[in-house]
Amino acid sequence: MRVAIVGATGAVGHELMQVLEKSKLQIDELQLYASPRSAGKTLPFKGKDLTVQATPEGPIDADVILASAGGSISKALAHRWAEGGGVVIDNSSAFRYDEGVPLVVPEVNGEAALKHQGIIANPNCTTAIAVVAVAPIHRKYGVKRMIVSTYQATSGAGQKGMDELLEQTRVQLGGGVAGHKEFAYPIPFNVIPQVDVFLDNAYTKEEMKVVWETHKILGDDSLKVSCTSVRIPTLRTHSEAITLELERPATPDEIRELLSHTPGVEVRDNPAEKLYPMPLTASGKYDVEVGRIRQSLVFDGGIDLFVSGDQLLKGAALNAVQIAEYLQEKGAIKENQRA
């Protein structure tokens, strides 16, 4: 079982290696790739130092290629990497909306991964975190409308985003004027209601990703989805306030009971004890925290809830590894190799 990571020296690449250390994925060989300037670096994995190689422009001789090198690189090279007989699990947005490329959250639509043709897409982090909680509710009660407001950490913009938060916070606390490069405005002590570029409909691309990807993952284009995405001055873990209008009314107790038995979800919901989802408690955690579950005051029988999920894990690295684990459990990786 040979696994490759493309983009091994980036923020998601680092998390991929950490997740693989603990994964039930059986690995005989791990190959690390990154940009030419990172070639020659060594990274530790299971007690050994592995050397990073320059990302190849041709086939990669591996069974699973976990790609997190950016959309333009994946778009140009992923099909070539897959020519080596492996499956590319791509973390960028390059293939998410392509016909014939599965967009997969294993707890929700794992079976879609089995229909791949060499490439499987990892969802946008915000979508992945939301659908883990929403999918079981949709299956049991039917969701007609879904309104999402996000609170997205600076790590959503990569290591440079986190660095900018820390550096410019120091500048401002030192009496200076905070600057900005990665974000539209200074991020310290601020919230910015823009993540990604604005589209013609006045929504940002990040907001529309939640719409498009929720439809594809749940297999239901009739579901009405609206999203407002906001960048906040935290390092990691995205949070989301979600309001659901349901086809069949549900009580908060029924939703708590349902979610308490949902893989990938930790119900953290006891207002009397001030117990609710937060980046402080969800960071570094595999499960998505769900709480503040209450009856909607707008939709009869509807539900309001709040979720926090580590977007570097469930929103990226963890989900990719879980897809590989699912394929291995189903025997799909070796079948692909023989083919």
Q: Residue 290 in contact with residue 259, Cβ under 8 Å?
A: yes
Q: Which domains does the chain have, with CATH numbers?
A: 2-122+316-338 (3.40.50.720), 127-311 (3.30.360.10)
**pTM of this prediction?**
0.94
Cα(58)–Cα(185) distance, integer angstroms = 40
Q: Which of these is catalytic: 14, 116, 138, 238?
A: 238
Report in angstroms the alpha-carbon separations of 33 from 8, 14, 94, 255: 6, 12, 19, 43
Q: How many CB atoms lie within 10 A of CB 32?
A: 25
Q: From the first residue on, what is the mean pLDDT of each consecutive set of 10 residues in the chain (339 residues)?
A: 95 94 93 96 96 96 96 96 96 95 97 96 97 98 98 93 97 98 98 98 98 98 98 97 97 98 97 98 97 97 97 95 96 59
Integer Cα distance of 157 and 160 in angstroms? 7
Closest CA to 117 of 90, 135, 144, 149: 90
Instruction: Tell me if residue 238 is catalytic.
Output: yes
d(CA 78, CA 69): 10
The DSSP element (H or E) to which 21 belongs, if any, is helix 11-22
The predicted pLDDT at position 338 comes to: 40
Catalytic residue, from 14, 116, 125, 227: name it.
125
Cα separation, 90 vs 127, whole angstroms? 15
How many helices (H) and strands (E) in the chain? 10, 13
From the CB of residue 321, how many other CB atoms can be counted at a distance below 10 Å? 25
